[in-house]
Amino acid sequence: MLHCPYCHGYEVAGSPLGVMAAHPLSVHQAMLLPDWGPTTYFTQGEFEPDADQAALLARRGVRVERSPIVELMGASPGLDAVKLADGRRMAIHALFVASRTHMASPLAMQLGCAFDDGPLGPVIRVDDLRQTTVPGVFAAGDAAIPMSNATLASASGVMAGVCTHRSLVME
């Protein structure tokens, strides 16, 4: 199970790929994946694409599968196939899911930081310099960006560190 085609897409390029829908934005993820391999969007019986989304998926060559995934098949950490509720097996070598996130610590809330509801869950509100709504408190990484991506998290950490140092020196 993978979360980001930009983090993991090249590792699985050319393989049959799947998106297991976890919320309405899963369609967006399914539209990105065909650049890495043949893609199937599994609605899981809950996240049916609307007419416009279905047209975009079709234009990208994404197959829409309405029978939910009930089992992942293959030796860990690999994936060979998925078993569907109707009994069929489909060859899928990588399954992407954009699950909702949550804060791993209550610290930002305890400090009084404001939060925004990002597309995948809450994020700490920051400005361009990574300053939160609480003076002297900076935030970075997945806690403060609405997209889970290791490179972006690392870069925001560098910015938060630089700006924290600057605020300590300049005050």
Are residues 6 and 98 in contact, defined by beta-carbon separation less than 8 angstroms? no
Alpha helices in the chain (DSSP H): 5-8, 26-32, 51-59, 107-111, 150-170
Domain annotation for the chain: domains and CATH numbers: 5-96 (3.50.50.60), 107-170 (no CATH)
Read off the pTM: 0.80
Q: Dihedral, CA atoms, 46, 97, 146, 151, nearest 10 degrees?
A: -170
Q: E strands, 6-109, where?
A: 17-20, 39-42, 63-65, 69-73, 81-84, 89-91, 94-96
Angle, vertex CA 168, rays to CA 166 and CA 171, nearest 5: 100
CA separation for the pair 104, 131 (Å, rounded)? 19
Q: How much is the pLDDT for 8? A: 84
Q: How much is the pLDDT for 134? A: 97
**101: helix, coil or strand?**
coil
Q: What is the pLDDT along the chain (171 residues), one digit of tens a residue?
A: 888 888 888 899 999 999 999 888 899 999 999 999 999 999 999 899 999 999 999 999 999 999 999 999 998 878 999 999 999 999 999 999 987 888 899 999 999 999 999 888 899 999 999 999 999 999 999 899 887 778 888 999 999 999 999 999 987
Are residues 15 and 81 in contact, defined by beta-carbon separation less than 8 angstroms? no
CA separation for the pair 119, 112 (Å, rounded)? 22
Partners of 124 in beta bridges: 115
Quick one: how far is CA 162 from the chain centroid? Answer: 27
Q: How much is the pLDDT for 5? A: 86
| Residue showing tokens 């060859």 | 91
